[in-house]
Amino acid sequence: MTALEGLRSAIDKTDQQIVALLAQRFIYTEAVGEYKAANQLHSQDPSREEQQFKKIVELSEQYGLRPEYAVDIYRRIMDIVISRHQELQADKAV
């Protein structure tokens, strides 16, 4: 195995772990969305997002990742979650 192949193999293993963790995260956010829909709560919580982004920046710095990368990735994840929560609320309204 060449050095490049070894690096790519490590990336593939890391991607597998990331996808598994994302799947787990979305199980939890789905439950949050169902709870919000059942209790007529807003799909978006700006104060929670602010807290999360602060933690994300801190964790990024701790692990040597550029915080702007993590913030961009998490903004997209949160936007997907918010969109799903809005879908769940619309389903409850019917």
Cβ-contact 70, 59 below 8 angstroms: yes
Count of CB atoms situated within 10 Å of the CB of 36: 19
pTM: 0.90
Give the residue extent of every domain in the chain: 3-93
Q: Is the pLDDT of residue 94 over 80?
A: no
Q: What is the largest CA-CA distance in the chain?
A: 57
Q: What is the pLDDT of residues 1-42, one digit of tens each?
A: 999 999 999 999 999 999 999 999 999 999 999 999 999 999
Q: What is the pLDDT of residues 37-64, one digit of tens each?
A: 999 999 999 999 999 999 999 999 999 9
Which H helix or E strand runs over 65? none
CA dist., res. 14 & res. 26, Å (int)? 18
Pick the CATH number of 3-93 from 3.40.1260.10, 1.10.1140.10, 1.20.59.10, 3.40.50.800: 1.20.59.10
CA dist., res. 22 & res. 13, Å (int)? 14
Count of CB atoms situated within 10 Å of the CB of 33: 22
- Token pair belonging to 89: 């609320």
Q: Is the pLDDT of residue 91 over 80?
A: yes
